[in-house]
Chains A and B, each alone.
Chain A
Amino acid sequence: MRLTRSRRTFAPVIPTASMADIAFLLIIFFMVTTAYSLDRTPMELPETKEQEQTRKGAAIISITEDETFRFSPGEEDTQLVDGIGGLAEAIREVTAANRLHPFIIKADRRVKYRVIDQVLEQLRSAGAENVTLLSQGEGAS
């Protein structure tokens, strides 16, 4: 008996059905782990070797080289505040609601320590306790 090869050809198919599943899993992972920057003011942060993750929902105090203050209570984007007086008022509003609310100081590395001293003074007098000085890892710039 002569064996004949089947003439039926199979169209090559790459199975892509599970691709979307994998992709959506990755999306969920990145959505959960991504912490959006509430302050996108460009500045050069100080470099430190020691670094810890900041807490989610912390209030942000942003200080640029020209000593402009921006503030966010932790949920919305930072807004310009009127000097150290405006910043003090904003800090008090946050600590009045929750004294243990964490704060992040995001300041340019070239800023004079006088400005940081004023901010620490306001934080301390408002009763804030948990403060993080935002920095970038050494060699990151």
Chain B
Amino acid sequence: MKITRRALRVEIPTASMADVAFLLIIFFLVASFYSVTRGIQFSLPKHDEAALTAEPEAATLIEIASNGALTVDNRPMALDEIRAYLGPKLQNNPTKSVILQTSLEAPYQAMTDVFDELRQLGVQNLVIPTSTELELYGLQNLK
């Protein structure tokens, strides 16, 4: 009697491969939504004596009080008025220095609000003096 060998078809089961792959996709999708990786960048300059000791006409001084109230060049101003005030000055002189001085008791959000507005205006020379720098140049911390 002749014995015939039945050839077995070799197969790699791939049916569950897509399931595993889609699970991984969902994982990476969710992981990417949860990571916050955006913000406002700025360069910390070296101790910028020139900007801090500049003549009042050369630099605009923005002060943020502890309650969040703004004073721009010694004039009380609302956040949305800064654009109208600074815009023409920046058009005349795009490299105009702006000094942003925040009261130590003010909330961080008050500072980022103004910083954001200045960034949108395209201020190139923004100086954020620290309290030690203010002391160094004889300026006073805001109340």
Contacts and interface: CB of A to CB of B under 8 A. Distances in A.
Given A20-B14, A110-B108, A113-B107, A51 B38 contact: yes
Contacts of B111: 113, 116
B128 to A, nearest CB: 7
Contacts, number: 155
A30 B120 contact: no
B108 A108 contact: yes
Interface in A18-65: 19-20, 23-24, 26-27, 30-31, 33-37, 45-54
A80 interface: no
Interface stretch (A3-11, A70-78, A81-89, A129-137): A129-137
Contact of B38 (A27, A117, A135): A135
Interface of A, helix, strand, loop or mixed by DSSP: mixed
B137 to A, nearest CB: 14
A43 to B, nearest CB: 10
B39 A135 contact: yes
Range for the number of chain B residues in contact with chain A: 35 or more
A4 to B, nearest CB: 31
A79 B102 CA distance: 29
Contacts of A130: 41, 43-44
Contacts of B108: 46, 107-113, 115-116
A131 B44 contact: yes
Interface in B64-108: 64, 102-108
A94 interface: no
B130 A27 contact: no
Given A46-B112, A120-B128, A37 B40 contact: no
Interface in B1-60: 14-15, 17-18, 21-22, 24-25, 28-29, 31-32, 34-44, 47
- Please name the 6 residue pairs, one residue from A and one from B, whose CB atoms are nearest each other, closest first: A23-B21, A30-B28, A114-B104, A46-B112, A109-B109, A48-B116
Given A31-B28, A113-B64, A113-B110, 7 more contacts: A19-B18, A23-B24, A26-B25, A54-B38, A113-B103, A123-B44, A135-B112
Interface of A: 16-17, 19-20, 23-24, 26-27, 30-31, 33-37, 45-54, 104, 106-117, 120-121, 123-124, 128-137
